[in-house]
Structure 1
Amino acid sequence: MGNKQEELEATVLLESYDLVAITETWWDKSHDWSAAINGYRLLEETGEEGRAEVALDGALYIRKWIECEELSLKNTHEQAESLWARIRGRGNKGSLVVGVYYRLPDQGEPIDETFLLQLQEASFSQALVLLGDFNPPDIC
C-alpha cells in the first residue's frame, strides 16, 4: 500500500468522508508508511505478519469528532477477520454498528460460523452496516 498512501489520504480528505472502510491491504514495512490520516481516528484489525509486509485485514477511518468505540463481540479476536465499531448518534439519537469483514477465499465452515455469531450479536443494534470482502464460495 506504500505507493497508494498519498492517493488514499487525498481522496479521503478531498471527498470529506466521515467514515472509510478498507479491507485486505498489504503494505511494505520498508516504506515509511503511516496509516494515520489527519483528522481521522483509525481502528484496525491486523492479520498475519511477514518479514517485510503486514496484512491489514480491516480498517475504519472515522472522523475524530464522531463519538465511537471499538466493539469486542464474542469471538471477535478468534478466527474471523473482522472489526466492529459503535458510532454514537448525537444527543439520544441511538447508535450505528459498523462492521468490516474479510473472508479468506478458502475459508472453512467453522470460521464462517464464528463470523455469523458475531453478525448475530451485532444485529441487535438499532442500525447495522456491514462492509467487506466476502469472497463468496461457489461463484465463478
Structure 2
Amino acid sequence: MAIDGYKLFRRDRQGRRGRGVALYVKEWIECEEMSLKLSLGSDEERVESLWERTKRQVNMRVTVVGVYYRPPDQDGEADEAFYRQLKVASQSQALVLMGDFNHPDICWEGYTAKHIQSRRFLQYIDVNFLTQVVEEPTRKGVLLDLVLTNKEGLVEDIKVGGSLCCSDHEKTEFRIVGSRHKTTSRIETLDFRRANFDLFKKLFGEVPWVRALEDRGAQESW
C-alpha cells in the first residue's frame, strides 16, 4: 500500500502470505535500511523486525527507528535473536523502537511480570538503558503496543485512542523530536590577574570562624 509523500519499507513474514512489519517515512527525510541480522541462523530469520537510520542533516540528529512484532507463541530462541539486534541498535545516539511485543502479563507500574520471557524482556530494557513511554492499554485493557527509547525527551505527545481500519488495537500516536538545538553557555570566566588579593585576605580574615581557627592554631603552637 503506497501513501503519497511517504517511502515504504517492509519486511514480510517468512514462509507464509501476509503479516510482517512496515514503516512509512516522509520522502524528504533521508534514511537507509539497517541490517541487524547478526547470524544466518533460523532464529534470526524468524525475528519480525525492521530498522531504519536517518542520515545526518543540518540541525538533525541521527535517529534509528525500529518496528517489531512478537508473535504470542514466540519461543525463547527467537526472543534472544531479537535481543541481539536490540543490543546493537541501542548503541546509537537516538533510538525509537515501536511495535506489538505481546507481553500482556507485565505490570508496568510495578515493573514486574509473571512469565520468564516477560521478565527477560524487562531485564533487557534495563541492560540497554531503554524507557517504555506508553502508559495506556492498547488492546482490550492490556498494554501490548510499546514505544521504547534510549534518550530522554526524544518521544513526546503520546496519544492512545482510535484504530486503523479493522484493527482491534488502539492507535498509538507520538512525535519524534528530531531537531538538536545548540545551547549557549552562560558560564563566565573570571580574570584573576586583576584581583586585589590584599583586600581579599583582609576581608577573609574578618570572618569569625576564620579568626577562631587562627586563635586555635596559635594556642596549639604555644
Q: TM-score range by the shorter chain?
A: 0.5 to 0.7
Is residue 88 from structure 1 mapped to residue 41 from structure 2 by the alignment?
Answer: no
Residue in structure 2 matching 1:67, options 30, 47, 53: 30
Query: What's 1:106 paired with?
Result: 73
Query: What is the SS of the residue equivalent to 1:115?
Result: helix
Q: Is the 8 A contact 1:58 1:100 kept in 2?
A: yes
Shift in Å at residue 75 of structure 1?
3.9
Shift in Å at residue 127 of structure 1?
0.4
Q: Is the 8 A contact 1:102 1:134 kept in 2?
A: yes
Q: Percent identity?
A: 52
Q: Is the 8 A contact 1:44 1:56 kept in 2?
A: no
> What is the alpha-carbon root mean square deviation over aligned residues?
2.1
Query: What is the SS of the residue equivalent to 1:78?
Result: helix
TM-score (norm 2): 0.43
TM-score (norm 1): 0.66
Greater relative CO, 1 or 2 (CA 8 Å, sep 6+): 1
Is residue 126 from structure 1 mapped to residue 126 from structure 2 by the alignment?
Answer: no
Q: Is the 8 A contact 1:42 1:59 kept in 2?
A: yes
Matched to 1:106, the amino acid is D
Measured in 1, the distance between the counterparts of 2:96 and 2:5 equals 22
How do residues 1-140 of structure 1 correspond to structure 2 at under 5 angstroms? 35-48=1-14, 50=16, 54-75=17-38, 78-91=45-58, 93-136=60-103, 138=105
Q: Which runs of 5+ in 1 are unaligned?
A: 1-34
Query: What's 2:207 paired with?
Result: none
Higher strand proportion = 1
Measured in 2, the distance between the counterparts of 1:122 and 1:65 equals 23
Aligned length: 103
Q: Which runs of 5+ in 2 are unaligned?
A: 107-141, 143-222
Shift in Å at residue 87 of structure 1?
1.4
Q: Deviations over 1:104-129 (max 9, x none)?
A: 10100000000000000111100000
Q: Is the 8 A contact 2:10 2:22 kept in 1?
A: yes
Shift in Å at residue 90 of structure 1?
1.9
Higher helix proportion = 2
Greater mean deviation of Cα atoms: 115-124 or 66-75: 66-75
Query: What is the SS of the residue equivalent to 1:116?
Result: helix
